[in-house]
Chain A
Amino acid sequence: MSTGMSADAVTDKVADTVADTVSVTGWGRTAPTAARLVRPRTYEEAVAAVRECGARGGIARGLGRAYGDAAQNAGGAVFDMTGLDRVHAIDADGGTVLCGAGVSLHRLMEVLLPLGWFVPVTPGTRYVTVGGAIGADIHGKNHHVSGSFARHVLSFELLTADGEIRTVRPGTPLFDATAGGMGLTGVILTATVRLEPVETSLMSVDTERATDLDDLMARLTATDHRYRYSVAWIDLLARGTSMGRSVLTRGDHAPLEALAEGTRARRAPLEFRPGRLPAAPSFVPEGLLGRTTVGLFNELWYRKAPRARTGELQRMSTFFHPLDGVPHWNRVYGRGGFVQYQFVVGHGREEALGRIVHRISQRRCPSFLAVLKRFGEGDPGWLSFPMPGWTLALDIPANLPGLGGFLDELDEEVAAAEGRVYLAKDSRLRPELLASMYPRLGEFRALRAELDPRSVFTSDLSRRLGL
């Protein structure tokens, strides 16, 4: 009893002291703005935080992996949801989990893998929260099979602008507005998520090289359906006949019998031990990742990949989250930060994709984390990003001269091909293009106007794009 009381006292103190004005950025470390950071630990504190957030409103924030300004709110409140970090219930037979919105996918993997379950969708990092995964309606390497994260959400509790907590189920307008709604419909408090059964924590991976963009797209079109997970790393600095050369890595969870008898892996097949390197230093000189260094890296990365290799066993962290091995890897771009650009164009728009890849390679954008993926069916969220077609994601140092204008030109190409850019990664889209990229934006705005007429839920992203 006494410990419970002291824990509450500590919570109160923490809640008081963290309501400080701090400078906040996204993962790309551009465009910092100041906000009051509030860290609710309970439903009551969350309700109070929303009620008291003031004229400039508030926005939920998880682990800050959105690249742009989605989880920033200049002059207002930012709700740090990582305080709601409890895994409430696991149905180990049926394969569902009920957890707080601030629980990370990393935590879920730690808890669920030993029970033989895996998260239904994981992006390129484990360090996103469940709330953020729904808010951005994230996708992973299995999108062509499993769709986006929200497709596996059975229900969630949403704290809305009126201070009420609603239970929201799939198939309702509020669910579809919230999935991909970038936190603008309310604060997600808990979610029930359907899981994926696995026999081991290892991945069986096939690797192959594609010599150019056409080769890559042909391979993805022909054989992607054989794999649950599929992604291609693409060398955007390669020009001429090797433009778009890539390394495909595709695979599935390794079955138990794939593990050799008598090995440590076989004895503990569900062990989850992601490796970790030292963190990136807090100061990195600007321009470390220029054309020369990135060009060299890309050359080596391409050459070191086997032309074709099948059935290689990889750890999950290696296959899904290689960058999570280096904490604060976003610092390698230096003080100026970086911009992520991810767009999708539909099937039949391969020409537009080719033109964009050509322009990027002609421009020599130093990008070493570029990936291409073939999406499956679109998702029900009104502002969900995926649509059937091709998505390309790349990162570019923000200090590259003329980058803003160049990306504006790419936007034009994407919009003309009826594609869209990903809001969770955006930090620079021109607002005029938004409505054509997201045809259901009108419905989203109408629902928001009704549910939250005073715009309690506001972010820098929503201000910038007029969401």
Chain B
Amino acid sequence: MKDAFGIPQSLLVLGGTSEIALATARRLITRRTRTVWLAGRPSPALESAASGLRELGADVRTVGFDALDPDGHEAALGKVFAEGDIDMVLLAFGVLGDQSRDENEPGAAVRVAQTNYTGAVSSGLVCARALQTQGHGSLVVLSSVAGERARRANFIYGSSKAGLDAFAQGLGDALYGTGVHVMVVRPGFVRSKMTEGLAEAPLATTPEAVATAIETGLRRRSETVWVPGTLRVVMAALRHVPRGVFRRLPL
């Protein structure tokens, strides 16, 4: 069960090698979290992520999960929920893709969309049903500012996050009053291996800062969290910039 400050005792991470997710798990383990499930494609990276968390004192298990295999979600995640209540699900998987390549390879672009959006719709609904049955829990969805307004430089990724963001908001409204809390997290540019080699955007942040914002959001039972918080104002302004101007901005 979560405590009065929204800190979970058990955590399921979808996308168990995500740096943001692991930073969040580390932070929550120092507070209350004792059971952690890392779901992801079986890999040495997943196992080493698990052993890293074990060193902090948590009981960590891994479970095979592939965002691109929606048909397998029910079975893979059902197994986790059958073992006991999950107080928080962190939906953290996602791929950035390579915009310039993906524009010329529709197949690759579709994989970005399938991972970030379709995979999240499927696994998000599976988790939402399980959380609703247990009558409590938080579903924390890692969205992105890129989904707030499509940019020339990464609209394939951005559109997939826009879909995910809209889905998660709607799901949050659908689950209102069921004891299940859905929180959409919109980080800006996060310095991690996913963005390695990319030019840093203004207001860049770190996985640890996102983890801190998630902990605060859980305590406040927030529905939307921007990281850093100033992005909320920045994006509110950018959303209203006329197309002709927006497309010329060096973003």
Contact = CB atoms under 8 A, between A and B. Distances in A.
A and B are interacting partners: yes
Interface of A: 21-23, 28, 30-35, 56, 68-69, 73-76, 336-337, 339, 398-399, 401, 403-405, 427-428, 430-431, 460, 463-464
Interface string B150-190: 00000000000000000000000000011110000000000
Contact of B9 (A22, A68, A464): A464
A398 B9 CA distance: 18
A56 B134 contact: yes
A75 B4 contact: no
A34 B136 contact: yes
Contacts of A430: 32
B61 to A, nearest CB: 19
Contacts of A68: 4
28 contacts: A21-B135, A21-B178, A23-B178, A28-B4, A31-B136, A33-B179, A34-B132, A34-B179, A56-B135, A74-B134, A74-B136, A74-B179, A75-B133, A75-B135, A75-B136, A336-B219, A336-B220, A336-B221, A398-B4, A399-B219, A404-B3, A404-B4, A404-B31, A427-B4, A428-B4, A460-B1, A463-B85, A464-B1
B63 interface: no
B90 to A, nearest CB: 18
Contact of B1 (A28, A56, A339, A463): A463
Nearest to B9: A464
A30 B179 contact: no
Contacts of A463: 1, 85
Contacts of B5: 30, 398, 403-404, 428
Contacts of A339: 4
A32 B9 CA distance: 16
Contacts of B2: 31
Contacts of B31: 404-405
Interface of B: 1-7, 9, 31-32, 85, 132-136, 177-180, 216, 219-221
Contact of A33 (B7, B135, B216, B220): B135
A401 B2 CA distance: 17
Interface of A is mostly: loop
A416 to B, nearest CB: 20
Nearest to B176: A23
A34 B178 CA distance: 5
A31 B1 contact: yes
Contacts of B178: 21, 23, 34
Contact of B3 (A33, A337, A427): A427
A405 B4 CA distance: 12
A404 B7 contact: yes
Contacts of B7: 404
A405 B3 CA distance: 12
B86 to A, nearest CB: 12
**A30, A35, A74, A398 pick with most chain B CB within 10 angstroms:** A74
B179 A32 contact: yes
Contacts of B9: 431, 464
Contacts of B6: 31
Q: Shortest 8 CB-CB distances between A and B: which pairs?
A: A75-B135, A34-B179, A74-B135, A74-B136, A427-B4, A464-B1, A30-B4, A33-B136
